[in-house]
Amino acid sequence: APATRLARTVPLASPSHSRLFAEGGRDKRPEDASASDPNPGGLSEWSTGSDDGDSPSNSGGFLDTLQAWAQSPEGRGDIQTYFFSLTLALVLRVAIIEPRYIPSLSMYPTFDVGDQLAVEKVTKRLRPFERREVVVFNPPQAFKDIVGSSRTGKEALIKRIVAVGGDEVEVKNGGRLYV
């Protein structure tokens, strides 16, 4: 024989709920309580349901339930919210900001291995680069040829600008850089 369960809903915030526990588990609600039901559409009286999957709420499969939800006003609102959020996230990721991580010690001590960055992509289109700025860029083909195929094609370089156009750069005194 299938197991049968009894269910009764009692809203957690209702005055009758606190009265239920204060008076030894007996519900002393007045008969006209349905006029101010804080849980409209919910179960207000005892109902039976079986665990064998034959109840009306379980008669369809997962896809039927999903389709019914998608056609409901609540489901449509949720779907619109999900797609709007996804679209906004993709636009931000492609056009404005991009997450990056530091894979090596080449920028130490400014950045350590494993540090995560949010790289902003708009400023480079609005003004020229300045000295001491940290930039992220795709390496030129000559760099890829020298390094070889050990690096992936999508890996960008993260470096600091030490000089801009018109600056004279010299390396002297054992490897010190002078601008």
Sign of dihedral through CA atoms 89, 90, 91, 97?
Answer: positive
Find the largest Cα–Cα distance for the chain. 95
Measured from the Cβ of residue 108, the count of other Cβ atoms closer than 10 Å reads 11
Known catalytic residue at 59: no
Token look-up 């009306």 returns 56
Report yes or no: 177 and 161 within 8 Å, Cβ to Cβ.
no
Rounded to whole angstroms, the Cα distance separating 146 from 1 reads: 75
The one catalytic residue in 72, 106, 149, 150 is: 106
Which amino acid is located at 118 in the chain?
Answer: A
State the catalytic residues: 106
